[in-house]
Chains A and B, each alone.
Chain A
Amino acid sequence: MICPVCETPVMAGFTYCEACGHALGSPACAWCGAPAVDQDGYCERCGLRQPTGRDHAELELDGGAAAVTDRGLRRARNEDAMALLAAGDAVVTVVCDGVGSSPRADEASAVAVETASAALARGLPQEEAFGLAARAVAKLATSVNDAPACTYVAAVVRPGRISLAWAGDTRAYWLPGGVLLTEDDAVETGEITAWLGADAVDVTLHVRAFAPREPGLLLVCSDGLWRYLDGYAFPRAGTPIEMSREMLRHALESGGHDNVTIALIPLTP
């Protein structure tokens, strides 16, 4: 074993490197992997300031359902937002992707996720939860020219059945096969035709119920992941959080051009 900072051999079980004083057993760096992140949040080996807050977040529920969100490599901030919570025998997840061309898109996705997930956890139907979220996002606008906006997908997963609702191009898949469960509101060139926001017109929420016959996982994700899914072999082993991280790594290694959000909820029929 060597000190990750000064590379002096260190004894297992030591708290500090005797040569340079580095605290051994520090958190691992998100970039170079060295266990060298200091209290200020910088890696003492490669220098990277560790992602904080919305830059990178992970959630895991008792039943194994998990979600990760990450800024990716090219965007200045993470405008995706996610919620994952247990409500009785149901697991609720909502994922929204801030529309890049709108102002304060990070606020839009955050308020949509918070409003809709709380409504669904209270047992409100999909349409009502969506309506509350849409109004909350619209209220962020000061005019139609200053209208924060985001996409929307919500899932309520109960034993044996899934309720899905979406608007825009945020998606749901059924794993392990990778069957797409949603249908994008988008034209062929990729521009979306439905979103939440004060400038949205004629948005109809898509709602779908799905009852899987085999055990599997519901994947809900933003386009920061699905743009890299062509020909991708989904992970087959590991817990949902481990699989989520592996999919995130795939998105980052493929270029990480957009924010990435992944929610995975295990389900038995």
Chain B
Amino acid sequence: MADQPAFTLTIDQNKYLPVDGREVHAILTVGSTGGITVQAGPAEAAEVIIVDTSGSMSGGKIREARQAATTAVQTLRDGVNFAVVAGTQKAKVVYPGGDGLIKASPATRAEAARAISGLSARGGTAIGEWLKMAGHLLSAHPSAIRHALLMTDGQNNERPDVFASVLAAWSGKFVCDSLGVGDDWVPAELRKVAEAMLGTFDFVRNQGDLSEFFRRLTQASMSKTVADVSLRVWVPQAATLKFVKQVSPTLLDLTGKRTDVNPLTGDYPTGSWGTEEREYHICVEVPPGQVGHEIRAGWVKLVRPDTQEVLATGNVLAQWTEDLAQSTRINNKVAHYTGQAELHELIQDGLSARAMGDVDTATARLAKARQLAAASGREDTARLLEKVVEIDPATGTARLRRNVDKADEIELDTGSVRTSRLRKEGS
């Protein structure tokens, strides 16, 4: 068994509230470091690789997908339990076959590669079916770090309510990272997968890069050492926890994923962890307070749900003051991530307004997003926005561009959940 990494929790906030202040904001930085000893073996892992083999994948795409799946299998370390699933309107276990996973070894990896080489493109797309299959396969390994890697090039043919119920049923049971290839897939669908399954989703703009994406995601999954960590948040009796969001490296709203621990405390899942750092934004609405009183507005614990072990704790505070210099001071991290969330919303609102033909709303949102992106160090996003909206440097007038490359739009849509880190002062 692996040693678990050491976790740290730091809290950034301005605890001072004006006399009538009710909203407390804080950024929680959670880091996990080292911890794996030389003697200890790696953590138990279970991996399902899902390849879209629908009809739209025919030609060069299925060749790249076969290569990518093979790369992923080769990246698995010995002893990891795995399976390869081919997805159409159904899910089919192409390796090892049957209803279980198999331990990775030189022999099974070679067998898997042979099975993958026989994949052909034919049929529809039912992402919910694929996830259901992955869930069944992975649930035989409850103590493992359970992960699925999914790629698709097309739109999901399932009824939205069917898809939603599959996501709800399997949310929290395993982590799934997904990839969209080409320009016929819908970012909103993979975003739902990422949100439900606490994973990432990304756009593979050049299908030739697919193998590299598969290798990187498999490697990242292999580096996880803790299957599941929850943020346990207590707020005072008369207070309301308004939201809990992951804000770095990507935006992920956890508010709706609460499991009540007691009337004052709830658990929010964060998924599996390796050596990494993530940041969370929480907002607590507190009851009116007395000047000079300090309260603990939030008591945050990092908890392993399986053992109930507390890995780190921290306090979110609030203190009411009549001193405006204290209460109006802005915490840079809170401001930065509030801005990043706003940027994401502007891009999403702008793109959907554009899709619906609401030119005015789309222009206003996307032009504002462009300014915000440039101001917060998101050069890539600013460059993509520049391809969608044109701003006259002399007059400042914004105008939507015609003939936007579909791939640029998808890249913008997909990338809006990524956030920049706050630059340290002076650098």
**A interface list, Cβ under 8 A from B:** 5-8, 19-20, 31-32, 40, 42-49, 71-76, 256
Cβ-defined contact, B290 with A73, below 8 A: yes
- In the complex, which residues of chain B have a beta carbon less than 8 angstroms from the beta carbon of A8? 262
Nearest A-chain residue to B294, judged by Cβ? A49
A3 to chain B, nearest CB (A): 8
Cβ-defined contact, A5 with B264, below 8 A: yes
Cβ-defined contact, B237 with A45, below 8 A: yes
Cβ-defined contact, B321 with A76, below 8 A: yes
A253 to chain B, nearest CB (A): 12
Q: With A and B bound together, what is the CA distance between A75 and B322 in angstroms?
A: 9
Instruction: Mark B288-318 against chain A: 1 for CB-CB distance below 8 A, else 0.
Output: 0011111111010000000000000001011
Cβ-defined contact, B236 with A20, below 8 A: no
Q: With A and B bound together, what is the CA distance between A47 and B263 in angstroms?
A: 14
Instruction: Mark B252-264 against chain A: 1 for CB-CB distance below 8 A, else 0.
Output: 0000000001111
Cβ-defined contact, A46 with B263, below 8 A: no
B1 CB–A CB distance under 8 Å: no
Cβ-defined contact, B262 with A6, below 8 A: yes
Cβ-defined contact, A48 with B295, below 8 A: yes
- In the complex, which residues of chain B have a beta carbon less than 8 angstroms from the beta carbon of A42? 295-296, 299, 315
- List 8 A-B pairs, Cβ < 8 Å: A6-B262, A6-B265, A31-B293, A42-B315, A47-B295, A73-B292, A73-B293, A74-B322
Q: With A and B bound together, what is the CA distance between A71 and B265 in angstroms?
A: 31
Q: A6-B263, A19-B262, A76-B321 are in contact. Are A47 and B239 (CB under 8 A)?
A: yes
Q: With A and B bound together, what is the CA distance between A43 and B299 in angstroms?
A: 11
State the 3 A-B residue pairs at the shortest beta-carbon distance, nearest first.
A6-B262, A47-B236, A47-B295
B238 CB–A CB distance under 8 Å: yes
B264 interface neighbour in A6, A40, A48, Cβ under 8 Å: A6
B225-259 residues with Cβ-Cβ distance < 8 A to A are 234-239
Cβ-defined contact, A73 with B295, below 8 A: no
Q: How large is the interface on B (under 10, 10 to 19, 20 to 34, 35 or more residues)?
A: 20 to 34
Q: A42-B315, A73-B290, A76-B321 are in contact. Are A49 and B295 (CB under 8 A)?
A: yes
Cβ-defined contact, A20 with B295, below 8 A: no
B17 to chain A, nearest CB (A): 13
Grouping DSSP codes into helix (H, G, I), strand (E, B) and loop, the A interface class, with mixed when no group exceeds half, is loop
Nearest A-chain residue to B319, judged by Cβ? A49
- In the complex, which residues of chain A have a beta carbon less than 8 angstroms from the beta carbon of B317? 49
Cβ-defined contact, B262 with A5, below 8 A: yes
- In the complex, which residues of chain B have a beta carbon less than 8 angstroms from the beta carbon of A31? 293
Q: With A and B bound together, what is the CA distance between A144 and B291 in angstroms?
A: 31
B325 to chain A, nearest CB (A): 13
Q: Which of B236, B239, B263, B265 has the most CB of A within 10 A?
A: B236
A236 to chain B, nearest CB (A): 29
Other than A5-B262, A8-B262, A48-B295, give 9 A-B pairs with Cβ distance below 8 A: A5-B264, A7-B262, A43-B296, A45-B264, A46-B236, A47-B318, A72-B292, A74-B290, A76-B292
- In the complex, which residues of chain B have a beta carbon less than 8 angstroms from the beta carbon of A71? 292
Q: With A and B bound together, what is the CA distance between A7 and B265 in angstroms?
A: 12
Nearest A-chain residue to B238, judged by Cβ? A46
- In the complex, which residues of chain B have a beta carbon less than 8 angstroms from the beta carbon of A40? 315
- In the complex, which residues of chain A have a beta carbon less than 8 angstroms from the beta carbon of B265? 6, 20
Q: With A and B bound together, what is the CA distance between A45 and B234 in angstroms?
A: 9
Cβ-defined contact, A20 with B261, below 8 A: yes
Cβ-defined contact, A20 with B296, below 8 A: no
Q: With A and B bound together, what is the CA distance between A32 and B317 in angstroms?
A: 17
Nearest A-chain residue to B293, judged by Cβ? A48
B236 interface neighbour in A7, A19, A45, Cβ under 8 Å: A45
A74 interface neighbour in B237, B238, B292, B315, Cβ under 8 Å: B292
Nearest A-chain residue to B284, judged by Cβ? A47
A46 interface neighbour in B292, B295, B322, Cβ under 8 Å: B295
A75 to chain B, nearest CB (A): 6
Nearest B-chain residue to A41, judged by Cβ? B296
A73 interface neighbour in B234, B237, B262, B291, Cβ under 8 Å: B291
A36 to chain B, nearest CB (A): 10
- In the complex, which residues of chain A have a beta carbon less than 8 angstroms from the beta carbon of B322? 74
Q: With A and B bound together, what is the CA distance between A43 and B264 in angstroms?
A: 12
B406 to chain A, nearest CB (A): 51
Nearest A-chain residue to B298, judged by Cβ? A47
Q: A6-B262, A6-B263, A20-B262 are in contact. Are A47 and B296 (CB under 8 A)?
A: yes
A16 to chain B, nearest CB (A): 13
Q: With A and B bound together, what is the CA distance between A6 and B265 in angstroms?
A: 9
Q: Which of A20, A47, A71, A75 has the most CB of B within 10 A?
A: A47
Nearest B-chain residue to A34, judged by Cβ? B237
Q: A73-B291, A76-B321 are in contact. Are A49 and B261 (CB under 8 A)?
A: no
B179 to chain A, nearest CB (A): 42
- In the complex, which residues of chain A have a beta carbon less than 8 angstroms from the beta carbon of B321? 76
Q: With A and B bound together, what is the CA distance between A14 and B234 in angstroms?
A: 23
- In the complex, which residues of chain B have a beta carbon less than 8 angstroms from the beta carbon of A73? 290-293
- In the complex, which residues of chain B have a beta carbon less than 8 angstroms from the beta carbon of A19? 262
Q: A6-B262, A6-B263, A42-B315 are in contact. Are A49 and B296 (CB under 8 A)?
A: yes
Q: With A and B bound together, what is the CA distance between A48 and B286 in angstroms?
A: 11
A78 to chain B, nearest CB (A): 10
B304 to chain A, nearest CB (A): 16
Q: With A and B bound together, what is the CA distance between A43 and B294 in angstroms?
A: 11
Nearest A-chain residue to B19, judged by Cβ? A74
- In the complex, which residues of chain B have a beta carbon less than 8 angstroms from the beta carbon of A7? 262-263
Q: With A and B bound together, what is the CA distance between A8 and B261 in angstroms?
A: 12
